[in-house]
Amino acid sequence: MRWAVLFTSLLLLSTIPLSTNVTAEGIDSDTGVTITADFNNSTETTLLTISIPETNDSLLLDELRTTNVLLHRLSFTTHDGDHDYFAIEFVDNFTLCSRTMLNSECAGHTFNIELHPEYPGHERTAYVLGKEMPPSDERHEDMADEEIDQWDLWAEELIAITFNQSENAVEEIDERISEIAAVENLSASYSDGITDLTWDYPESIAMNHSIMIYSHDSPATRENWNSLTKTIVSSSVAAGTTNFEINHSSSPVEREVYYSVTLLYETSEDTRFLGSNTLTVPVKEDNIAPLFVGELSATFNSELDMTTIDWGAGISDEDLMINIYRSQMYLPILDTNNLVATVDSSLSSFEVEVPMGEHRQSWYAITLVDSQGNENLNLSEFSPVADPVIESTISSSQISNLEVERYIDGTITINWDDTTQSPNAIAKIWRSVSGPISSFDDLEELASTDVSLEQYSHNPLNPVDEAWYAITIEGTWGSGSIPWHDDSLTSGVNSMDNSFRETEDEIEEPAFDVLAQVQSTSGAGGEISDGDMISLGPMYEGDLIIISTSRIVENISCNEIAGQGSVIYSQTDWALSFSANQSGEACYGTISDGDDEIGFTMTWNYIENITVADDEGDEDDTEQDDGPAANKGSKESKETIAGVILSIIILALLVYLLVMMKGPKYFEEE
C-alpha cells in the first residue's frame, strides 16, 4: 500500500534530530530550519510555525531568500477499521525569507502560516516542505503505474517533517473537522433593479436555524471574515428558504458586490466558508441611468430621402450604447416603441432612411443605455432633443392656385385647388393686413375648413384696401396616425405674393382744370362749381348775364329748365353772354370740354319797365308840348344802352383778367 511506503519513509526520517534540518536544492542538510504545527480544536485551524536558524552563512541565507519551496499536507484516514487512505495536497509556494530581506533579517526569521483544513479533515496529518517537482520526462518509461505515482510523490526532496517529534517516532496532528453547516451553490443575478439570490440546502440538514445574508466589497474567506467590512442584508430569513430578492428601487445603486449566506443557530454561526455559500465572482448592481450631455440636430436631405441625426461627438465607453428615438409629436417621456436604432456610443451621427410616400413631422431624441439596461426616458430641458424636422417623400403637401375675389355685397371668396395628398385634411385660412404672409407673426386666423371644399367665403369686419391671404394644412400623410399642422408657406403657391382689395373700387372723377364765373350787369354773380345753385336776384331790361371761363372750352350753354332741356344760348368760346329778359328767368348751365363737364343752375327775377297812358288830348298836348323833350329822352335812352354795353365789355375784361390772374390749376391724372 502507498501509505505503507510513505509511512516507512516518515519513520526513517523520524531519526532526524528534534530540530529537523530543511534541505532544498543547493541547501545542505544542516540548515537548521524547523517547522512545527498546532491544531486548535475550537477554531478548527492549524498554525504552522517556520523558523530560520541564527547563522552567518551568507550563501545559505541567499539560498533561503531565492529558493522557492512547496508546502504540502500529507494526510492519512482510516476507514472501515483496516483500510487507510493516503492523500497529498499542495498548500502554498513561497521562499523562507523574503527576497528583500537583509542577511541579518533573514537569520533567525520566524513566520506563521494559519491553515484551515477542509471538512472532514484527517486523523493523521503531517506537513512537508519540498523543492519543485522534477520534470516529467525524467520518469522511466518502464515504470509501472504504481511506481510512477510513487515517483511523482517522492521526486520532491523532503526537507522537514516536524510535528512534536520524539527521538524515535513521528507524531502527527489530528485535523478532523466538524461537519460544516452551510447552504450550497449560492448564485446571484441582477435585473431591472432586483438582485436575486438563490442557493441549495444540503441533504438531511436540521431546520433549527435562521438564515443570515451579508454583502461585502471583496471576497469572503475564513481567514478574512472577522476583519472584512460587511453589511447584514437580512438576519431573519426562515430556515428552508432557497431564494431572496433585494429591491433597489428605493435608492440608487451602482456597484460590484459579493454576497454570503450563513446559517445562524441559537449559539453559533458557521463562518468557515468552505463550501459554496459565498460568491467568488461579484454581481454588478446598477440602477443609475447614464445621462447624455450635448446637442442634437436633425437634417432631412430631400435628394437622398435621408435624415441625418448628429450629436457632435461620441463617448468611449464599452459599457454604453446610444438609443435613437423618433416621435410624431414632442413627448416628455420617451416611448420605447419609438426606438429607431441602437448604435455604439463612440459614433457621433446616424442616418435614418425615410420611406416613399411619407410626409411627416419628426422629433428625434437620443439617450444613453448601459449594459444593465439603465436608461433615462424622461426628457428635460437639458436632454438632447432635435427641433422638429419635416421629412417629405411626396410630390405636394400644399394647396395650389390660390385666388381671391370680391362680390358686390362685400363678400370675399377664397378659392384653391386641393393637391395636398392628405384625405380629410383641414385647411387653415390666414389673413394679413401688414404684408405678404411668410411667417405666423402679425396675422389673423380666419377659420378652419375641409380642404377638399376648395372654397371659403367671409365678410371682413374691417375691410382694407390691401390684404393678403394664405392657406396651410393640418392632416396626416403616409403612415402617420397623428394629425399635424404643416405650416410651410410658399409665396405664390399657398401664400399670396400680391395684395387684394377688400373695399369697393373707387370711381375716379375726372379732374376739370377750368375755372368758371358768372357775372351780370346788375352786379350779382360769383365763381361756378359743379352742382352750384346761383341766384342773381332782380334784373331789368337791358341787363346781361355773362358766363366766362379761364380758357376756351368746347361749349358753354344755358339750357331751359321749364321746357324739354332746349338750349337757350350756346357758344364755343371762353365767354357766353345773353339778355336777362327771358320768360323762364332760369337756366341749367353746362360747361363742357371733351369728357370733362360741370353743371350748375342759375335763377333771376326779371322786372319789366311799366309806362302809364293819359287821355288823347293830354297825349296830343303832351306830344305837342313835349316834342323837343321826347326827342331828348330818346337820345338819353340810346346813351344808356351804349353805357351798358361798354360796362359789359369792361366787366368781361375784368372777369377775364381776374381769371388769368388766378392762374391755371394743374391736375395730375392717375
The CATH number of the domain holding residue 600 is 2.60.40
Contact 667, 511 (CB under 8 A): yes
How many percent of the chain have pLDDT more than 90?
A: 37
Query: In this structure, what CATH number is given to the domain that contains residue 341?
Result: 2.60.40.10
DSSP strands (E only) in 451-595 = 455-458, 468-475, 484-486, 516-520, 525-528, 533-540, 544-549, 555-559, 567-571, 575-579, 586-593
Query: What is the residue-averaged pLDDT of the chain?
Result: 79
Same domain, residue pair 111 and 191:
no
Of the residues 373, 392, 411, the one at which a domain ends:
392
The predicted pLDDT at position 623 comes to 47
Residue 62: inside a domain: yes
Nearest to 282 by CA among 190, 152, 191: 190
- CA atoms of 411 and 433, how far apart (whole Å): 17
Nearest to 596 by CA among 660, 558, 553, 565: 553
Average pLDDT over residues 71-80: 73
Model confidence, pTM: 0.53
Q: Which amino acid is at 285?
A: E
Same domain, residue pair 223 and 120:
no
Phi, psi of 378 (to 5 degrees): -85, 125
326 vs 613, more confident:
326
Average pLDDT over residues 42-49: 84
Cell numbers 319789366 correspond to what residue?
A: 608
Q: pLDDT band at 143, cuts 50/70/90? A: low
User: Domain of 16?
Assistant: 2-160
Q: From the centroid of its chain, how far is CA 319? A: 24
Residue 352: inside a domain: yes
The predicted pLDDT at position 32 comes to 77
Same domain, residue pair 104 and 79:
yes
The predicted pLDDT at position 25 comes to 33
Beta bridge partners, 26, equal: none
Of the residues 392, 426, 446, the one at which a domain ends:
392
Average pLDDT over residues 79-101: 76
- CA atoms of 320 and 142, how far apart (whole Å): 61
323 vs 88, more confident:
323
Average pLDDT over residues 518-537: 87
Above 90 in pLDDT, residue 269?
no
Above 70 in pLDDT, residue 313?
yes
Same domain, residue pair 323 and 421:
no
Above 80 in pLDDT, residue 252?
yes
Above 90 in pLDDT, residue 550?
no
Residue 618: inside a domain: no
- CA atoms of 148 and 646, how far apart (whole Å): 173
- CA atoms of 82 and 85, how far apart (whole Å): 10
Segment among 298-307, 393-402, 550-559 with least mean pLDDT: 550-559
Same domain, residue pair 369 and 307:
yes
Same domain, residue pair 282 and 307:
no
Same domain, residue pair 420 and 379:
no
Same domain, residue pair 260 and 119:
no
Same domain, residue pair 420 and 482:
yes
Same domain, residue pair 412 and 370:
no
Same domain, residue pair 357 and 455:
no
Total number of domains constituting the chain? 5
At 320, list the grid cell.
454604453
Residue 621: inside a domain: no
656 vs 638, more confident:
656
The predicted pLDDT at position 23 comes to 30
At 437, list the grid cell.
404672409
Above 60 in pLDDT, residue 430?
yes
Of the residues 286, 307, 337, the one at which a domain ends:
286
Nearest to 567 by CA among 559, 575, 556: 559
Segment among 41-55, 165-179, 565-579 with least mean pLDDT: 165-179
Residue 458: inside a domain: yes
- Burial of 553 by CB count in 10 Å (0-12 exposed, 13-18 middle, 19+ buried)? buried
CA distances from 419 to 393, 394, 456 (A): 15, 11, 16
583 vs 91, more confident:
91
Q: Which amino acid is at 331?
A: L
Same domain, residue pair 242 and 202:
yes
Above 90 in pLDDT, residue 259?
yes
Q: What is the DSSP letter of 581?
A: -
CA distances from 425 to 207, 483, 647 (A): 74, 9, 86
Above 80 in pLDDT, residue 583?
no
At 132, list the grid cell.
519543485
Above 70 in pLDDT, residue 438?
yes
Residue 626: inside a domain: no
Above 50 in pLDDT, residue 460?
yes
Residue 539: inside a domain: yes
Average pLDDT over residues 492-521: 84
Contact 194, 246 (CB under 8 A): yes
The predicted pLDDT at position 657 comes to 59
Residue 625: inside a domain: no
Above 90 in pLDDT, residue 165?
no
The predicted pLDDT at position 131 comes to 67
